[in-house]
Chain A
């Protein structure tokens, strides 16, 4: 079973990964985006850290994820804010008020979270978005947390040859081909942080 401490660790690990990789995310966002993905997520996850520090110690996993989601929506400033915000908030809502959740419950909740992201953005796997990492990543949760992290990483790498159909990159048409999607890359960081947390290596 996973308690609130686990979710705090996961979000902390995600924030640390974003901090570590912010420059690379912004670099990936330069040729096909508006070169702010790393800076935007860094601002969002720094605010998440602050929000978690001020959160009620008695908060359940679901409440912590909803707090993180709301914080991302209000602080990121780009499309990744409402998208990641929706992912975490919806996942948190699915977990409800339980003080501990099973791996199976977390998997089902993340599934619902990813569905909500797809609806909000109107995107599907293959559009060169964060869904290209989230969908295979969450599907692989059935195997293990590490498998989920690896599948998300693989999904992010697989966005390189794809023609973008959503977001700023879609305006570039063919010129979006040959670049790794920054959103899929940050989504892989999120699931990688989950794997590290589950293995106790974060």
Chain B
């Protein structure tokens, strides 16, 4: 941990509305103290459905406080674009693609990061969301 900096969270969705709303929900549930930096990267740069590498790199830079960045993704090209950007080292050092359900993982990640947990714990909390059965 670098001086108590919070882990940043990036939410990558095919839709700007989805990414923005999930960010808002996660921030709202985490509210009560400091809330970790969260940035949505939804849709294409011109507002369509899809994935934008530019929006993702900008969002990751915006939330990077030096403690790592957890990226949660929804479908197909969101996953592949983040993997390709990581492969090419175009995201901040300490960026991680999180294998988690998008909404539930985002809420768990933001709450955990807001509590000052390190990247490993944030990633683990988001991934644990898969284990919660609803029926």
Residues of A within 8 A of B (CB): 34, 36, 40, 70, 73-75, 77-79, 81-83, 85-86, 89, 120-121, 167-168
Q: Check: B52 CB closer than 8 A to any chain A CB.
A: yes
Evaluate contact between B50 and A168: CB separation under 8 angstroms: no
Evaluate contact between B88 and A81: CB separation under 8 angstroms: no
- List A contacts of B83 (CB < 8 A): 82, 120
Given A73-B53, A77-B44, A78-B50, A168-B85 contact (CB < 8 Å) = no
| Pairs across A and B, CB under 8 Å, 22 listed | A40-B50, A73-B84, A73-B88, A74-B54, A75-B53, A77-B44, A77-B48, A77-B50, A77-B51, A77-B52, A78-B76, A78-B77, A79-B77, A79-B80, A81-B51, A81-B77, A81-B81, A82-B83, A86-B87, A120-B83, A120-B84, A120-B87
- List A contacts of B44 (CB < 8 A): 77
Q: Give the docked Cα–Cα distance between A75 and B52 (Å).
A: 7
- List B contacts of A89 (CB < 8 A): 88
- List B contacts of A81 (CB < 8 A): 51, 53, 77, 80-81
Evaluate contact between B52 and A83: CB separation under 8 angstroms: no
- List B contacts of A36 (CB < 8 A): 50
Evaluate contact between A70 and B80: CB separation under 8 angstroms: no
Given A86-B87, A167-B76, A73-B81 contact (CB < 8 Å) = yes
- List A contacts of B85 (CB < 8 A): 73
Q: Give the docked Cα–Cα distance between A77 and B52 (Å).
A: 6
Task: Kindly provide the distance from the CB of B41 to the nearest chain A CB, expressed in whole angstroms.
Answer: 12
- Other than the given A79-B80, A82-B83, A120-B87, 14 more pairs (CB < 8 A) read A36-B50, A73-B53, A73-B84, A73-B88, A74-B52, A77-B51, A77-B52, A78-B50, A82-B77, A82-B80, A82-B81, A82-B84, A120-B80, A167-B76
Residues of B within 8 A of A (CB): 44, 48-54, 76-77, 80-81, 83-85, 87-88
Q: Give the docked Cα–Cα distance between A73 and B80 (Å).
A: 9
Evaluate contact between B88 and A77: CB separation under 8 angstroms: no
- List B contacts of A40 (CB < 8 A): 50
Which of B53, B76, B84 counts the most A-chain CB atoms under 10 A from its CB?
B84
- List B contacts of A34 (CB < 8 A): 49
Evaluate contact between A85 and B77: CB separation under 8 angstroms: no
- List A contacts of B87 (CB < 8 A): 86, 120
Given A74-B53, A78-B77, A85-B84 contact (CB < 8 Å) = yes
Task: Kindly provide the distance from the CB of B27 to the nearest chain A CB, expressed in whole angstroms.
Answer: 27
Across the A-B interface, the 3 shortest Cβ-Cβ residue pairs: A77-B50, A82-B84, A82-B80
Residue of A nearest to B53 (CB): A74
Q: Give the docked Cα–Cα distance between A121 and B54 (Å).
A: 21
Q: Give the docked Cα–Cα distance between A24 and B81 (Å).
A: 25
Q: Give the docked Cα–Cα distance between A79 and B50 (Å).
A: 9
Task: Kindly provide the distance from the CB of A127 to the nearest chain B CB, expressed in whole angstroms.
Answer: 14
Given A73-B81, A81-B81, A82-B81, A168-B53 contact (CB < 8 Å) = no
